[in-house]
Amino acid sequence: MQTKLIIGMGGDPTYDLLEKINSPADLKNLNDEELILLCDQLREFIIDVVSHHPGHLGASLGVVELTVALHHIFNTPYDKVVWDVGHQAYAHKILTGRREAFKTNRMYNGISGFPKMSESPYDSFGVGHSSTSISAALGMAVASEMAGELDRQHIAIIGDGSMTAGMAFEALNHAGVSKSNLLVILNDNGIAIDENVGALKEYLTDITTSKTYNKIKDEVWNMLGAFPRGVVQKVENAIKLTLIRHSNLFESLNFRYFGPVDGHDVSRLTKVLKDLKNIPGPKLLHVITVKGKGFLRAEKEQTKYHAPGYFDKRTGDIIESHCGKDRPPKFQTVFGRTILELAEMNPKIIGITPAMPSGCSLNIMMAKMPKRAFDVGIAEQHAVTFSAGLAVQGFIPFCNVYSSFMQRAYDQIIHDVVLQKLHVVLCLDRAGLVGEDGATHHGAYDLAFLRCIPDIIIASPMNEEDLRNLMFTAQSENYGPIAIRYPKGEGVMVNWKTPFQKIEIGKGRKLKDGNDLAIISIGPVGNNVAKAIEKLEKENLSIAHYDLLFAKPLDNDLLHEVFSKFKKVITIEDGTINGGVGSAVLEFMADNNYHASLKRLGIPDKFIEQGTNKELHKECGYDVDGIIKASLEILK
């Protein structure tokens, strides 16, 4: 069933049917025609709300029919539906009692942009990182089996991009021998945020483009109600063995494979899902969808409309938050332009990212040097060890992974890179609080989890010029493993492209002298410190400001200067207080027998939810006003 395009519609949308759906129970008695109408209204509603309450658009538009079919057929929340990543869960949230709350999606004190167990019983498992759905659903299926709940269904919806991660295949390997009641729905749209890569993509293309196979497969599906299932399975197996190259990928793991099925034909999907409910054991349904379905611009420009920000719902035009050339660039843009500039100077530099070329701006280098820049798919562990292999052979890999995603490759950092003292540059994008994506995406822990590793250098630039110079320094000679962390979004410098300067490893800097109080910061949060000091000086207070630049090795000379002069000290970082740079300064103070009143500001010992960074910095107490308040309190 081809869904109509929304662009060009006249008048305001009406949601007369959608407004009657307050829970999945209201879906049960809808006929095919009503289900189609509901899908159209649901798609319009998502576009309407997300156009002025920004979020993840394309992925959710692509699974509208699948979501409606799932809640129409299965008995949720008793039956467990587990979404992977969660970018595509907006329709699910709207149908499960959160239609009115959806306008608060990703907002401070609003609902999360991802499935979250504490938010709704329909959110069977909290997600945000990819490739977890099959493992979680299998665990639930085994638990249900042990509890004697043999009628309970367990469904994992995973994209073909998420399927590239090793964890997904680990789960498939286990599930295939478990014989548990598990349905894996492979949502195949050929794209995650950027276009998918790798051999799995080619394999799935083989299946979806085999016209002979699909014609016969359709005929087999039509026979499901007329022949014994044993006969149908034998026919299916014969088709798979003879018509599709490498056709036994999923069936070799003991999964019954069904599909491919049009993911935008809600009538067909409901029939297929109803049949699959009655087939025991592990099953995989291959569903073909279009990311951004029903919104022409989102279909044509899928990467841009993954999360487009504000846009005009009639034309699809993205509404820029600012115009002109007088704005600082984003840190990731500085990274992307700088690595290309350095790579043109140094033939040993290689760029690596796990499925985030546009997000981290490595796509700039990929366009100019496609043989020296690699998107390895959603596979953070592989990205780090692949970088280690390149380093062994004398290359200088810049491995760019979002801070929260790098948590998934922690063992590889320790075992494959740092233990062997390899010259790998780990670029941790989205470090610190990242705003509306919330707790699953905040880069809160990298300073703490990296600081305890021997022989690693950890740096955090205060501005774009610092990032540029740290990248230049990192490739200039073999310092061993270096991690450079920087935040999401804009910096502070308009004229950031200055001549490269080498930075001395482990050396911080005194930005301002003072007498009453010393503030030690690391990273871009130091700009908040500078603004706070300007206001405090109007109260006749003399505040010194030190920027560490390196979390490891610490600048011991700088810290000796601070504690020799000041008895009142504040540390500030855009990272967890526990185990972070403030803790490192406390350790230095204790180890060197200094005595001072020291207050640490940073992310407190709790998970921080979604909101703008301004709101979240205020909550955590290290916005400008929070720094002023802390300074006045310690000076009392």
Tell me the three state secondary structure of residue 615: helix
Whether the upstream peptide bond of residue 328 has omega within 30° of 0, thus cis, is no
3-class SS string, 139-179: HHHHHHHHCCCCCCCEEEEEECCHHHCHHHHHHHHHHHHHC
567 and 599 Cβ atoms separated by less than 8 Å: no
If you ran DSSP here, which 8-state letter would residue 244 be given?
A: S
C-alpha distances out from residue 2 to 205, 264, 289, 408, 445, Å: 21, 7, 11, 39, 45
C-alpha distances out from residue 309 to 192, 211, 320, 580, Å: 18, 39, 8, 32
3-class SS string, 531-598: HHHHHHHCCCCCEEEEECCEEECCCHHHHHHHHHHCCEEEEEEEEECCCCHHHHHHHHHHHCCCCCEE
* Known active-site residue 152: no
Q: Which of 44, 380, 464, 573 is catalytic?
A: 380
Output the DSSP codes for 337-373.
Answer: HHHHHHHHH-TTEEEEESS-HHHHTTHHHHHH-TTSE
Rounded Cα–Cα distance for residues 460 and 392 (Å)? 26
- Residue 28: count other Cβ atoms within 10 Å of its Cβ: 11
494 and 530 Cβ atoms separated by less than 8 Å: no
Residue carrying the six token digits 């990192």 = 474
Rounded Cα–Cα distance for residues 498 and 464 (Å)? 10
Q: Please, which residues bridge with residue 353 across strands?
A: 375
546 and 596 Cβ atoms separated by less than 8 Å: no
Tell me the three state secondary structure of residue 258: strand
72 and 270 Cβ atoms separated by less than 8 Å: yes
| Full strand arrangement of the beta sheet holding 517-521 | 509-512, 543-547, 517-521, 568-576, 597-603
Q: Please, which residues bridge with residue 262 across strands?
A: 288
* Known active-site residue 408: yes
| Full strand arrangement of the beta sheet holding 256-262 | 80-83, 154-159, 183-188, 283-288, 256-262
Q: Which of 408, 468, 552, 600 is catalytic?
A: 408
* Known active-site residue 436: no
**Type of residue at 198:** G
If you ran DSSP here, which 8-state letter would residue 621 be given?
A: T
> Which regions of 407-513 does DSSP assign to beta strands (E)?
425-429, 457-459, 482-485, 509-512
Catalytically active residues, by annotation:
291, 380, 408
